[in-house]
Amino acid sequence: MKKIFILLFVCLFINKSFAYGETGKAELNAPTKAYILSRFCTEVKYNFAFYDKLNFNWDSLCVASIPSLTATSSDEDFLKGMQLLCNQLHDGHTYIFPMNNPKNQADWIRPFPMKTKRIGDRVFVTDVYSSNLQQSGVHPGCEIIEIDGENVLDYGNKHIRPHLASSTPQWAKYKPFAEFELTKDKGSKSSKILFKNKKGKEFTVESNRNLSWDLKKILLR
C-alpha cells in the first residue's frame, strides 16, 4: 500500500490564522476545534497507511480527546494537544505543525540562532548565526548545560520531545536536540541558557528569540 503523508495545515476556515500562542487568547471556538479534530481523525482513519497495525482503538481515543481539546484555554494549548494526539500514531511522517501569523511577527516561532546536536548524554552547539550570541561567548563546541533552570536533557524530553513525530525510540532520543528543534518557541519568549565553553568555564545567556541572524555558518573546528 502506498503510504500517504498526513499533514494538518492548521488554519481557520473563516479567514483567520491559527498561530502558535499568538496572543494567549483563544481565537478558535469549541465547535471549530471539534471540527479540526474530527477532520484530522477521519483523515487518519481512511488514509494512514498503518491504520490496521495500531494496537489501540483510534476512534475511541479521538472521542475521548474531544472534551479536553475543545476546552483548551488558548490556541497554543489546542495545538499542543493535537500534537500529542497525533504522536500516538508513532509515525515520523504524520505530524502537525504551527503556522506563523504575519500580523504578529514578534511572536513567530523561532529558535535561538544556533544549531545543536546531542552526543551521548551531552548537547553541544555546532553552528552560531548571531553576532549577539558570539559576543556573549557562544561558539561551536560550547556545551549546553541547562535551559530555564532545567537540565538540558530533561528540558528537551519534557518540552520538545512529546510534540515531535517519531517512529523509533532512536529518533525520539535524537531529534529534540538536533538542528534548531531544542530552542524553538515564540520569538518574544525569553529563556536563560547555561553554557560551558571548551575551557570548562560556565556562563549564562538570557534573551528572547528575536535575535538577528547576521553571521554566515561557522564551521566547528
Q: What is the domain partition of the chain in residue ranges?
A: 7-105, 108-207
Q: Average pLDDT for residues 199-213, to the nearest whole number?
A: 96
Task: Report residue 217's pLDDT band, with 50, 70 and 90 as the boundaries.
Answer: low
Q: Which amino acid is at 151?
A: N
Q: In the prediction, which pLDDT does 149 show?
A: 96
Q: What is the pLDDT of residue 50?
A: 85
Give this prediction's pTM: 0.72
- Region 183-191 average pLDDT: 93
Instruction: Cell numbers for 45, please give them.
Output: 482513519
Please name the fold of domain 108-207: Pdz3 Domain (2.30.42)
**Spatial distance between the Cα atoms of 55 and 40, rounded to a whole number of angstroms:** 19
The reported pLDDT for the residue numbered 102 is 61
Tens of pLDDT, residue by residue over 93-108, are 787 877 776 678 888 8
In which band, very low, low, confident or very high, does the pLDDT at 65 lie, cut at 50, 70 and 90? very high
Pairwise CA distance, residues 128 & 210, whole Å: 15
Residue-wise pLDDT tens digits, 147-166:
999 999 999 999 998 888 77
Cα–Cα distance, 182 to 109 (Å, whole number): 12
